[in-house]
């Protein structure tokens, strides 16, 4: 009898180890994901760490004209202090930089192992793609952004998101308590990463959060707000976000290369930051917004959506409103709106990923990076990037 119990216990231990081992391996990789020695390999090959779903290249690819004749400025200014451009790009571990002026590629450079056909993690630039999908469904009359989350996700009744409007999710104004400090091991965003690695579903993590402020009154960056947008998309459409990305963005916009979404154990996409694509295809989202929702001969999302997505319509969404916002920039529909009087806006992912659009100069700049120093605190890093991009915008016509 004792031998039988011993065998059962051993089998139980072995089964537990087999079940836990891949989770523990992934947890270890998550805990070391951003370290200097491995960050480049990780950012360029996320499919080797996490399960992914595939998006196919468009059957009608948009191949942009090329006239590689733009020279980057030797320096640019921030607060009247010069910053050497080459040193800045090296310091932020820039892997790819692409400049599109008047629908023509005028500058394209790859470093640190990245190339034109290599996919790269977008991090929070993914959010702007998800918001675009919401716009498509708003245009179709299938989503009303003034309705509450619980209208589309009834099982969210009783959660912190129950009375949050879809619009509040888009504007990062859910009122949900969340610490997004990547340098704090115990922050909510790092707790999320560990939970995801151990197999907690994205939906269950969203349901676990607590309310902090009344919805629609305060702008505070909560990545899980975007994840709830993804859940709404799947609930309304009955399709995966991967399928929707393929159908409504990748195919009509003429994306040249395949891409992937990181997924959880249920198959749900990590829409808050899990899209992997090439530099050129990331830039095409910028072109789509530059051209008021039209690209590659297709009407992808309405001009009305583009306007609303780049225009703050409440005090807490305007720039320099620190009584009503936890950041100095303006914000609308998963896009950042600069503090300066320029007709520009941008998507931004951690570790220095950017899609920058300047309407006045007919300009899109895309940047991919593996800025491993980001996690230790990078004061003014967003301001420096914006200063460089705005300098390029003012300089590009002069060079012509």
pLDDT per residue as tens digits for the range 269-320:
999 999 999 999 999 999 999 999 999 999 999 999 999 999 999 999 999 9
Q: How many CA atoms lie within 13 A of 356 on its CB side?
A: 31
pLDDT of residue 368: 98
Query: What predicted TM-score, i.e. pTM, was given to this entire model?
Result: 0.92
3-state secondary structure string, 267-303?
CCECCCCCEEECHHHHHHHHHHHHCCCEECCEECCCH
Paired residues of 84 in beta bridges: 75
Q: Give the residue-averaged pLDDT of 218-245.
A: 98
Altogether, the residues listed in the chain come to a count of 400
The helix/strand/coil state of 251 is: helix
User: Are 318 and 331 contacting, i.e. CB atoms less than 8 angstroms apart?
Assistant: no
Q: Where are the alpha helices (DSSP H) in the chain?
A: 2-31, 39-44, 85-91, 126-139, 149-152, 166-170, 188-197, 202-207, 223-237, 241-245, 251-253, 279-290, 303-309, 381-399
Residue pair 72/78 in contact (Cβ under 8 Å)? The answer is no
The β-bridge partners of 55 are: 259
Beta-sheet pairing, 275-277 with 259-262:
antiparallel
* Distance from C-alpha of 282 to C-alpha of 164, rounded to nearest angstrom: 30
**pLDDT level of residue 27 (50, 70, 90 thresholds):** low
3-state secondary structure (DSSP) of residue 176: strand
User: What letter would DSSP give residue 247?
Assistant: I
Tokens of residue 252, six digits: 């009509």
Looking at residue 10, its pLDDT comes to: 60
Chain segment 318-361, per-residue pLDDT in tens: 999 999 999 999 999 999 999 877 799 999 999 999 999 999 99
The rounded distance, in Å, linking the Cα atoms of 285 and 141 is 22
Residues β-bridged to residue 235: none
pLDDT of residue 190: 85
Domains of the chain with CATH codes: 32-399 (3.40.710.10)
d(CA 364, CA 374): 24
């Amino acid at each position: 009898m004792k031998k039988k119990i011993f065998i059962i216990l051993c089998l139980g231990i072995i089964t537990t180890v087999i079940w836990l081992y891949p989770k523990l391996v992934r947890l270890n990789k998550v805990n070391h994901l951003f370290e200097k020695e491995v960050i480049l390999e990780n950012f360029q090959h996320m499919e080797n760490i996490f399960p992914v779903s595939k998006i196919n290249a468009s059957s009608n690819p948009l191949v942009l004209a090329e006239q590689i004749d733009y020279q980057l400025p030797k320096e640019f200014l921030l607060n009247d202090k010069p910053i050497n451009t080459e040193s800045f790009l090296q310091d932020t571990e820039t892997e790819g930089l692409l400049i599109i002026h008047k629908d023509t590629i005028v500058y394209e450079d790859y470093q640190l192992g990245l190339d034109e056909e290599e996919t790269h993690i977008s991090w929070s630039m993914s959010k702007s793609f998800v918001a675009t999908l919401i716009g498509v469904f708003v245009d179709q009359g299938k989503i009303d952004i003034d309705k509450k989350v619980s209208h589309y996700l009834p099982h969210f009744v009783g959660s912190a998101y129950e009375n949050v409007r879809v619009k509040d999710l888009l504007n990062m104004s859910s009122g949900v308590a969340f610490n997004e400090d990547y340098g704090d091991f115990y922050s909510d965003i790092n707790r999320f990463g560990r939970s995801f690695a151990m197999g907690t579903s994205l939906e269950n993590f969203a349901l676990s959060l607590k309310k902090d402020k009344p919805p629609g009154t305060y702008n505070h960056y909560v990545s899980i707000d975007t994840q709830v947008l993804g859940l709404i998309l799947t609930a309304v459409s009955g399709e995966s976000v991967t399928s929707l990305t393929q159908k409504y963005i990748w195919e009509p916009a003429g994306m040249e290369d395949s891409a992937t979404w990181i997924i959880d154990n249920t198959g749900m996409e990590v829409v808050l930051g899990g899209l992997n694509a090439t530099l050129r295809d990331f830039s095409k989202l910028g072109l789509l917004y530059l051209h008021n929702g039209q690209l590659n001969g297709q009407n992808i999302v309405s001009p009305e959506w583009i306007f609303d997505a780049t225009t703050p319509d409440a005090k807490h969404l305007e720039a320099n409103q620190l009584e009503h916002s936890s950041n100095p920039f303006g914000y609308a529909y998963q896009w950042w709106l600069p503090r300066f009087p320029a007709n520009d806006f941008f998507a931004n992912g951690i570790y220095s990923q950017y899609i920058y659009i300047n309407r006045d100069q007919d300009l899109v700049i895309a940047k991919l990076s593996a800025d491993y120093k980001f996690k230790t605190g990078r004061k003014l890093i967003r301001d420096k990037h914006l200063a460089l991009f705005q300098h390029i915008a003012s300089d590009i016509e002069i060079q012509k």
